[in-house]
Amino acid sequence: MMFWRSVVGKLWFTILLLVCFVLFILTILLLEFFQNYHILEAERHLLQTANKISEVENRYEDRELLLSTTNLIKDSASRAVIAWNEEDTLVAESDTEGLPVMNYDWFSSDQELSRVLTQGEEVKKVADLESSDTGVMVVGAPLSNGEGAVFVYQSLDTIEETSEQTTKIIFLGAGIAIVLTTIFAFFLSTRITSPLIKMREGALELAKGEFNNKVPILTHDEIGELAMAFNRMGRQLKFHINALNQEKEQLSGILRSMADGVITINRTGEILVSNPPAMQYLDAYAFENSPSAKTVEDNQHLPEPLKALFKQVITNEEESMTEVTLQGRSWVIIMTPLYDKSTVRGAVAVLRDMTEERRLNKLRKDFIANVSHELRTPISMLQGYSEAIVDDIAESKEDKNELAQIIHEESLRIGRLVNELLDLARMEAGHIHLFIESIEIHSYMNKIIRKFQGIADERSVELTMNVDNQLDWISFDADRIEQVFTNLIDNAIRHTNPGGSVHVTIDSLNGDWVGSVHDSGQGIAEEDLPFVFERFYKADKSRKRESSKQKKGTGLGLAIAKNIVEAHKGTISAHSKLGEGTTFTFRIPKDIDLTEY
């Protein structure tokens, strides 16, 4: 079936069909021609024989000699009858079996043959005999003296045998012509289609991306020119596809490196191109609206905020902007129409994650508010107590000393606040300098615990410590890490009720040393945990102090501790349950590269 669909089969079949049709018409015409030719040739031969016999009859009077001469003149397959009258006839026999003997009465009774006897004309006729299975061809010629006629006839089988031989030769020639035509047509079609097959294979290779394959140029005709054009097309395709791939990779690289999300949308609202930041937004939208779809591939629909903005852009053909909040993040979306000459073919949306900017803006406002609040109280107290001294409200020396002590404490508080702000600013700007040295951890931690033992006993809080025996010497900045432990232990003691406990542990874990401070105090609410390391953040929203004599915090200690730990290439975290206690844990690598500091 594939052969008949191929060009070889079609071309071969077309040529063969055309040649067969021509040979068929030619065979019919040749058969008709040779059949008529044989009949005419037989009539001419028989008539010529009859005329010769007529001449011989005029020369010889001896009947025996006439008969023998007649047998010599005529063909052995034919029979000759010399009829002078009804009673006087001479018959020269034929070698053909089954050829009937016809007498004078038969010749004279025939309307056409009788003209030879009556009018002296030459007559030719093909006659069918009831006594024979085949017909005969009869010719008649008058005798020279006009007294009688010579009739010569033979069976039509002889003529048909000659025609059959001719027909066999014609059919044999036609068969040979068909065979030769088939071979020639197949050879010709193969020669024509062989380059086409090579080009088809080359086209399939081109479709697979193999542009280095070339079609061989076998001829210099139109097919050869087609092969040259095909190879030229392959080179041009390779050049243009490489150029397109370079442009695509360049565009893809630009899109991937962009901080903003980019989405290209066609006119029907289908997403054509998107980059990783845009995929974050699409995945977040898909997760929020269809929790079973974890990626945007599971939800191909354009998000509703983008869909509404897209309709507005397509309708008005102008840039539009909107802001949406999704999964706790703020996105600003700017969409611009894309034009195909004069018509809008789609739109491009730029998605900017403004969460960090909003957070920093909020931090800036909170920082100003917190600093103002932290400074307002001590300044107010300085102003109030100093006015009391100036106005002599405190009459005794003891009262004046008490007021002066309060003023002194508040000034120290302002100093601590300013110093911590400066330290935090330097740390966040990357200007922190660590003095890394090897520290014997057991004696180091004992010194820190002894510093807080008095405060813990005063508040009836049990302060304990446990250091891993496998740990001995560790490299870190002793002053900075002491600042971290001071802040964490102080917070733990101040937020633990009398009778509670604070436990400090130092462990070894996967190449890091881990320090943790656990207390059984009030705990931190779950909603406050993510913000405990931010500046000025306090879980006690009322900012009240339990005692004026209690050390007052600035809300910067944990932020400073986080920066110190991160400067040591470490991490810090907080875990707490309200009413059950809090655990602060930090991890620092044991082997810090001293060349970096």
What DSSP designation does 496 have?
A: S
Mean pLDDT of 386-415: 75
Sequence-distant (6+) residues with CB within 8 A of 384 are none
Q: Residues 573, 458: one domain?
A: yes
Sequence-distant (6+) residues with CB within 8 A of 564 are 427, 432, 477, 480, 481, 483, 484
- In this prediction, residue 580 has a pLDDT band, given cuts at 50, 70 and 90, of confident
Please report the pLDDT score of residue 585 as a whole number. Answer: 92
Pick 102 or 309 by higher pLDDT.
309
Q: In the structure encoding, which two tokens stand for residue 263, read together?
A: 């989405």
Cβ-contact 403, 394 below 8 angstroms: yes
Which amino acid, residue 497?
Answer: N
Q: In the structure encoding, which two tokens stand for residue 283, read together?
A: 């995945």
Task: Assign residue 284 the CATH number of its domain.
Answer: 3.30.450.20
Question: Any bridge partners for residue 323, and if so which?
Answer: 332
Residue ending a domain, choose from 399, 426, 453: 426
Which of 478, 473, 420 minimizes the C-alpha distance to 447? 478
- Dump pLDDT digits (tens) for 338-361: 888 778 888 889 988 888 787 777
Residue ending a domain, choose from 408, 426, 444: 426
DSSP output for 210-225: --S-------SSHHHH
- Dump pLDDT digits (tens) for 428-465: 666 577 788 888 989 989 988 888 888 888 889 999 99
Residue ending a domain, choose from 127, 145, 163: 163
Element (H, E) at 272: strand 271-274
Whether 178 is covered by a domain: the verdict is: no
Task: Give just the sign of the alpha carbon dihedral 370, 372, 376, 378.
Answer: positive
How many CA atoms are closer than 13 Å to the CA of 164, on its beta-carbon side?
6
Please report the pLDDT score of residue 544 as a whole number. Answer: 43
Q: Residues 492, 530: one domain?
A: yes
Q: Residues 307, 418: one domain?
A: no
Q: Residues 499, 527: one domain?
A: yes
Please report the pLDDT score of residue 586 as a whole number. Answer: 92
Whether 273 is covered by a domain: the verdict is: yes
Name the domain count of the chain.
4
User: Which residue has 């100036």 as its token pair?
Assistant: 390
Q: Residues 505, 372: one domain?
A: no
Residue 549: is its pLDDT beyond 50? no
Q: How far apart are CA 337 and CA 315, in angstroms?
A: 10
Q: Residues 445, 385: one domain?
A: no
DSSP output for 63-110: HHHHHHHHHHHS-TTEEEEEESSSS-EEEE--SSTTPPP--HHHHHHS
Q: Residues 419, 445: one domain?
A: no
Mean pLDDT of 538-558: 53
Whether 247 is covered by a domain: the verdict is: no
Please report the pLDDT score of residue 466 as a whole number. Answer: 92
CA distances from 593 to 308, 436, 467 (A): 55, 9, 24
Please report the pLDDT score of residue 429 as a whole number. Answer: 62
Residue 128: is its pLDDT beyond 90? no
Residue 197: is its pLDDT beyond 80? no
Mean pLDDT of 177-189: 78
Whether 253 is covered by a domain: the verdict is: no
CB count within 10 Å of CB 72 equals 10
What DSSP designation does 377 have?
A: H
Whether 81 is covered by a domain: the verdict is: yes
- In this prediction, residue 416 has a pLDDT band, given cuts at 50, 70 and 90, of low
Task: Assign residue 386 the CATH number of its domain.
Answer: 1.10.287.130
Please report the pLDDT score of residue 387 as a whole number. Answer: 76
- In this prediction, residue 554 has a pLDDT band, given cuts at 50, 70 and 90, of low
Cβ-contact 43, 183 below 8 angstroms: no
Q: What is the C-alpha R_g of the chain?
A: 63
Which of 211, 204, 263 minimizes the C-alpha distance to 234? 211
Which of 177, 170, 172, 174 minimizes the C-alpha distance to 33? 170
Of the chain, the percentage scoring pLDDT greater than 90 comes to: 5
Whether 576 is covered by a domain: the verdict is: yes
Q: Residues 506, 479: one domain?
A: yes
User: Which residue has 């024509």 as its token pair?
Assistant: 192
336 phi and psi angles, rounded to 5 deg:
-125, 140
Q: How far apart are CA 308 and CA 444, in angstroms?
A: 64
Which amino acid, residue 555?
Answer: G
Task: Assign residue 557 the CATH number of its domain.
Answer: 3.30.565.10
Mean pLDDT of 466-488: 86
Phi/psi region, residue 120 (left: phi>0; alpha: psi -120 to 50; beta: rest), is: left
Mean of the per-residue pLDDT values for the chain? 78
- Dump pLDDT digits (tens) for 5-44: 666 677 777 877 888 888 888 888 888 888 788 788 888 8
User: Which residue has 């669909």 as its token pair?
Assistant: 5
- Dump pLDDT digits (tens) for 239-268: 888 888 888 888 888 888 887 888 888 888
What is the domain extent for residue 368? 358-426
* SS3 state of residue 564: helix
Whether 188 is covered by a domain: the verdict is: no
Lowest mean pLDDT across 235-244, 328-337, 380-389, 433-442: 380-389
Please report the pLDDT score of residue 37 as a whole number. Answer: 81
Sequence-distant (6+) residues with CB within 8 A of 66 are 56, 57, 60, 82, 90
Please report the pLDDT score of residue 539 as a whole number. Answer: 56
Question: Any bridge partners for residue 514, and if so which?
Answer: 507, 587
pTM of the model: 0.40
Q: Residues 573, 590: one domain?
A: yes
Mean pLDDT of 190-196: 71
Residue 595: is its pLDDT beyond 60? no
Please report the pLDDT score of residue 294 as a whole number. Answer: 47
Q: Residues 50, 128: one domain?
A: yes
Question: Any bridge partners for residue 479, and if so which?
Answer: none
Sequence-distant (6+) residues with CB within 8 A of 365 are none
Mean pLDDT of 348-376: 75
- Dump pLDDT digits (tens) for 143-160: 877 678 888 888 777 777
Lowest mean pLDDT across 85-89, 423-427, 459-463, 473-477: 423-427
Cβ-contact 107, 114 below 8 angstroms: yes
Residue 370: is its pLDDT beyond 70? no
* SS3 state of residue 539: coil
The C-alpha angle 351, 357, 363, rounded to 5 degrees, equals 155
Mean pLDDT of 395-417: 75
Q: Residues 282, 385: one domain?
A: no
Which of 500, 533, 538 minimizes the C-alpha distance to 519? 500
- Dump pLDDT digits (tens) for 492-530: 998 888 999 999 999 988 888 999 999 998 888 877 777
Q: How far apart are CA 52 and CA 58, in angstroms?
A: 10
* SS3 state of residue 485: helix
Whether 588 is covered by a domain: the verdict is: yes
Pick 316 or 549 by higher pLDDT.
316
Cβ-contact 488, 460 below 8 angstroms: no
Lowest mean pLDDT across 76-85, 203-212, 320-329: 203-212
Q: Residues 302, 380: one domain?
A: no
